[in-house]
Chain A
Amino acid sequence: MRIPCPYCGERDIHEFAYLGDATVSRPDPARNDAVQAFYEYVYLRDNPAGSFQELWYHAAGCHSWLVVTRDTRTHAIFGARLASREAS
């Protein structure tokens, strides 16, 4: 697997560290249903077989967090964007 880092270009995956699902966000602890929301956020997973948006950290490169779109059945990578752009 090679990830196309927006800064560094296409690089081998041994330069990257994996975090997981990029589509979930931390719930607001002030919510009324915060206990349930945190349980789902921390422990439950969609775990799709197919296209998956996931967070990778370019540890041996530009130190950027990336949102990578990848097929979990084939490991084909369709693209990578900067996670900081997503967050702002």
Chain B
Amino acid sequence: MQYSAFSLLKNALTGHRHWQPAWRDSEPRSQYDVVIVGGGGHGLATAYYLAKVHGVKNIAVLEKSYIGSGNVGRNTTIVRSNYLLPGNIPFYEWSMKLWEGLEQDLNYNAMVSQRGVLNLIHSDTQRDAYARRANAMRLHGVDSVLLDKDEVRKMVPFLNYENARFPIQGGMLQPRGGTVRHDAVAWGYARAGDQRGVDIIQNCEVTGFRISNGKMMGVETTRGYIGAGKVGLAVAGNTSRVATIAGLRLPIESHVLQAFVSEGIKPLIPNVITFGAGHFYISQSDKGGLVFGGDIDGYNSYAQRGNLPTLEDVCEGGMALMPMIGRIRLLRQWGGIMDMSMDGSPIIDKTPIDGLYLNAGWCYGGFKATPASGWCFAHLIARDSPHEFAAAYRMDRFRTGHMIDEKGQGAQPNLH
């Protein structure tokens, strides 16, 4: 059923008793053309674009829990394409363009809100760096605006402009950036994929791979063997776990990133604000809660929960930026497992095993990349050659020295 104002009205008049499930909860079949491991945003988007753009018929998405139970439901919902390096900008801008048309494409309300992403500037050096970034973005056709202190003050008057250590001197704004309802992204892709015949198989964990003469034959799962000539991994923080079963050792560490939501308040924050000096970022959800986060905890973790020193550090960053939020109570806090790569950039590439494809290393920036990640991964799987926007995300770049290190931290994932 197509969702529309008419369908909403019709169902409202009949007491909302006749809504149908948005997607089928499929039973696994014995053989598929393509199996995607991981029913998160990236996996579901990949399956959708495989079916829609490349006309692949027999696709299954295997999810060990329920779809959207991982990072697509654990992030802080921010989308932006304010990157600096040539390998990154076209990819993230393509993602932004897909976000802009996503709801019409999927016929699903994902609450895409282009409220603007504002990065604050605290020093002359930082202004130079942001001027360079803003220019690089403009050269690639991405919107960016450098703001002086008064322009920032007009937009968000409630910040602490006179902080002794990090006074606010300006900002870089990407007006097209913003937020997207993250659960709706998983549900929207699931529903749209399902309508094109994608089987979404939940509670189905991959426990092994059947590989014959270096070629992928299929996957062993907790719900039996499923044959597939092409298998794509999109399992985020569990990438090393799954890849180890296939005999791969990857340039990835798993780390926990925490996120926080305050109690709901009246509209306060009109956009997304990032406080680069303290690594704190904040926006306000449509329910009124302040959604914010900061650094990863900094040690390897698969626990999906963090520790108090990071919570304290993030809240200190928030207090330094906008002291008034000290009155607001923290309502919820959770953790997600990030697949931190050695240069802070992702991998979308073939593996040494014929028919096994890898989509990983998103660090803590995977949500904004969801549409383009699915688009480019689907291209790679369907055509066996990388999409031009993801051509730099090669697995062998660490061996050949072609790192894409936006932050310049080197192979120290806990510092990215």
Residues of A whose CB lies within 8 Å of any CB of B are: 1, 12-14, 18, 20, 39-40, 42-49, 52, 54, 70, 72-75
Contacts and interface: CB of A to CB of B under 8 A. Distances in A.
B414 interface: yes
A74 B303 CA distance: 6
A43 B251 contact: yes
13 contacts: A1-B307, A13-B299, A13-B309, A39-B399, A43-B342, A44-B249, A45-B240, A47-B252, A49-B238, A72-B300, A72-B301, A73-B303, A74-B303
Interface string B54-72: 0000000000000000000
Nearest to B251: A43
A47 B250 contact: yes
Chain A binding surface SS class: mixed
B309 A45 contact: no
Contact of B253 (A20, A42, A70, A74): A20
A47 B300 contact: yes
B307 A75 contact: yes
Interface of B: 238, 240-241, 244, 249-254, 298-303, 307, 309, 312, 342, 398-399, 411, 414
A12 B309 contact: yes
Nearest to A39: B399
Nearest to A16: B299
B249 A45 contact: yes
Contacts of B303: 72-75
Contacts of B302: 49, 72-73
A17 B411 CA distance: 16
A12 to B, nearest CB: 7
Q: What 5 A-B pairs are tightest by C-beta distance, nearest first?
A: A47-B240, A14-B309, A43-B398, A49-B302, A43-B251
B192 to A, nearest CB: 32
Nearest to B397: A43
Contact of B300 (A14, A42, A43, A54): A54
A70 B299 CA distance: 10
Contact of B411 (A12, A43, A46): A43
A44 B307 contact: no
B250 A18 contact: no
B249 A46 contact: yes
A59 to B, nearest CB: 12
Tell which of A1, A18, A47, A70 has the most Cβ of chain B within 10 Å: A47
B251 A44 contact: yes
Contact of A39 (B238, B309, B398): B398
Given A39-B399, A72-B301, 20 more contacts: A1-B307, A13-B299, A13-B307, A13-B309, A14-B309, A18-B414, A20-B253, A20-B414, A43-B342, A44-B251, A46-B244, A47-B240, A47-B252, A47-B253, A48-B240, A49-B238, A49-B240, A49-B241, A49-B302, A70-B299
B411 A72 contact: no
Contact of A18 (B241, B252, B299, B411): B299
A12 B307 CA distance: 10
B298 A45 contact: no
A18 B342 CA distance: 16
Contacts of B342: 42-43
A43 B302 CA distance: 20
Nearest to A75: B303
A16 to B, nearest CB: 9
Contacts of A1: 307
Contacts of B301: 72, 75
Contacts of A48: 240
Nearest to B398: A43
A45 B253 contact: yes
Contacts of A46: 240, 244, 249
A39 B303 CA distance: 28
A59 B298 CA distance: 15
A39 B249 CA distance: 12
A54 B414 CA distance: 13
Contacts of B240: 45-49
A52 B167 CA distance: 42
